[in-house]
Structure 1
């Protein structure tokens, strides 16, 4: 009986890890992306250069980067414009959670 419990336990741990990874994924609906693009277009800010920081999900922005609030319903993130891209950023951690082209 103990032999069967080990693979079952390992499987549950693996599934738990996958669930945690999915829970960390930021879901921004296509409609929200459209509203965010329009908001950023209507409230322009200067594009910045991120020397030494890759513009990708998970990258942490330095404290020197100004994060702008977004007045869009159900979006708790702030944004920054880098080149032609808008990055949504978790304000508490300064982690990029979504890059919108």
Structure 2
């Protein structure tokens, strides 16, 4: 019985962690993507070439990369290795890779 309760408690803790992780999932609204794409067309950004940087959700952007503010968008934008990315300015993590 004691083993069963320990297993059940562990499952609850793990499931709670999954719920917390899902709650932290960032969703970039399509309207924000449209605003960013239009901004990039009007104000082109030079691409920063970074070797060994994987451009995926959650990847950190080095401090040497300038993040540009886009009006009416929470996130900042940068062009890295010819890919436009949205970055959380507080954590410098990629929240969206625009294709």
Fold conserved (TM > 0.5)? yes
Instruction: Mark the CA change 1:46 to 1:53 in structure 2 (over 3 Å): closer, same or farther.
Output: same
Instruction: Report how far residue 82 of structure 1 moved.
Output: 2.3
Aligned structure 1 segments of 4 or more residues deviating by more than 2 angstroms: 1-8, 82-85
Gaps of 5+ in 2: none
CA distance in 1, matches of 2:56, 2:97: 7
1:41-79 superposed Cα distances (whole Å, 9 cap, x missing partner): 22211111112211122222222111101112xx32111
2:87 aligned counterpart, secondary structure: strand
Aligned: 1:87 with 2:85: yes
Gaps of 5+ in 1: none
- The aligned residue for residue 35 of structure 2 is 35
RMSD: 1.9
Equivalent pairs, count: 99
Q: TM-score, normalised by structure 1?
A: 0.81
CA distance in 2, matches of 1:51, 1:83: 8
- The aligned residue for residue 74 of structure 2 is 76
CA distance in 1, matches of 2:77, 2:88: 9
Q: TM-score, normalised by structure 2?
A: 0.82
